[in-house]
């Protein structure tokens, strides 16, 4: 079956531009996570959805970051007024159920470069 | 607070050698879950294994084996008879008990394994 897909795979934005990153989770997966991975680092949690509800956004680095999952499937991570420090790979993951014991399946990521 | 430490930044081995990747974790949760993920050059994180905190039984899957020891807070990963295709960055991760509702993963900084033919 299809895995988690993300688009675009690469995005170059000029400083100050807004960007929108899309995630298509595995069909039927309840949980959806966004992570940010800086070069040479492990992924860091940004936000979590259970179906359409955003239950945790404690990892979002600033109010320029906004995520939504309006119908409980596709999710969009939006970054307003991008800054150079936003350059990273943004990973989306989905999990069949809610709970810490279920493995997360990751997409290929979107590499964002802010110039 | 959750923390995962992978002290080995990079490891190089010659093909067919065995290699062990170290992972040490910190958590205040009594119930938690440990994971290993592989990130090949393509960038997509691939799930390898999950262990529960209450199950210290070691596991072997083909050339892969995992050694979980609560007494030392370690969850080490061994690849036997390494192959070039094993070259990747390997991440250890921790997920705590359901407290905030997120159950997100806390990752280590990864170990880059290079297998030389």
Cβ-defined contact of A50 to B101 (cutoff 8 Å): yes
Percent of chain A with pLDDT over 90: 90
- Do the Cβ atoms of A69 and B1 come closer than 8 Å? no
d(CA B109, CA A22): 25
d(CA B79, CA B91): 14
Strands B19-21 and B106-107: unpaired
Q: What is the pLDDT along chain B (117 residues), one digit of tens a residue?
A: 789 999 999 999 999 999 999 999 999 888 899 999 999 988 899 999 988 888 888 888 899 999 999 999 999 999 999 999 999 999 999 997 655 555 789 999 999 999 999
Taking residue A109's Cβ as centre, other Cβ atoms within 10 Å add up to 26
Which pLDDT score, from 0 to 100, does residue B99 have?
Answer: 56
Interface membership of A101 toward B (CB under 8 Å): yes
d(CA B43, CA B39): 6
Which pLDDT score, from 0 to 100, does residue A77 have?
Answer: 98
Which pLDDT score, from 0 to 100, does residue A103 have?
Answer: 87
Q: Most A CBs within 10 Å: which of B92, B98, B103, as the mutation test of the A interface? A: B103
The pair phi, psi for residue A98, each rounded to 5°, is -90, 145
B chain contacts of residue A50, beta-carbon cutoff 8 Å: 101
Give the position of tokens 């675009």. A8
Cβ-defined contact of A98 to B103 (cutoff 8 Å): yes
The tokens for A44 are 């860091």
Tell me the per-residue pLDDT of A54-86, one tens digit each, with 9 for 90 and over. 999 999 999 999 999 999 999 999 999 999 999
**Given phi > 0 = left and psi -120 to 50 = alpha, else beta, which region is A75?**
beta
Cβ-defined contact of A100 to B96 (cutoff 8 Å): yes
**Given phi > 0 = left and psi -120 to 50 = alpha, else beta, which region is A81?**
left
Cβ-defined contact of B96 to A105 (cutoff 8 Å): no
Percent of chain A with pLDDT over 70: 99
Tell me the residues of B at the A interface, defined by beta carbons under 8 Å apart. Answer: 4, 32-33, 35, 37, 42-47, 50, 52, 91, 93, 95-98, 100-110
User: CA distances (Å), B95 to each of A20, A112, B10, in order?
Assistant: 28, 27, 24
Element (DSSP H or E) covering residue B5: strand B3-5
Residues of chain A with pLDDT under 50: none
Which pLDDT score, from 0 to 100, does residue A112 have?
Answer: 98
């Amino acid at each position: 079956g299809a895995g988690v897909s993300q688009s675009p795979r690469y995005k170059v934005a000029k400083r100050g531009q807004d960007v929108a990153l899309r995630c298509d989770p595995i069909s039927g997966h309840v949980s959806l996570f966004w992570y940010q991975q800086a070069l040479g680092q492990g992924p860091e949690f940004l936000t979590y959805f259970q179906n359409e509800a955003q239950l945790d956004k404690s990892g979002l680095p600033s109010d320029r970051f906004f995520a939504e999952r309006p119908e409980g499937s596709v999710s969009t991570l939006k970054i307003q007024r991008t800054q150079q420090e936003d350059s990273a790979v943004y990973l989306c993951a989905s999990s069949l159920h809610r709970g810490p014991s279920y493995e997360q399946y990751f997409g290929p990521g979107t590499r964002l470069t802010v110039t | 607070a959750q923390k995962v430490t992978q002290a080995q930044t990079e490891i190089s081995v010659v093909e067919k050698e065995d290699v062990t990747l170290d992972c040490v974790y910190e958590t205040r949760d009594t119930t938690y879950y440990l994971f290993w993920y592989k990130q090949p050059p393509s960038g997509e994180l691939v799930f390898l294994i999950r262990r529960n905190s209450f199950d210290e039984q070691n596991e072997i899957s083909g050339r892969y084996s995992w050694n979980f020891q609560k007494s030392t807070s370690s969850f080490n990963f061994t690849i036997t008879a390494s192959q070039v295709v094993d070259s990747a960055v390997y991440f250890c991760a921790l997920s705590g008990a359901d407290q905030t509702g997120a159950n997100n993963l806390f990752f280590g900084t990864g170990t880059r394994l290079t297998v030389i033919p």
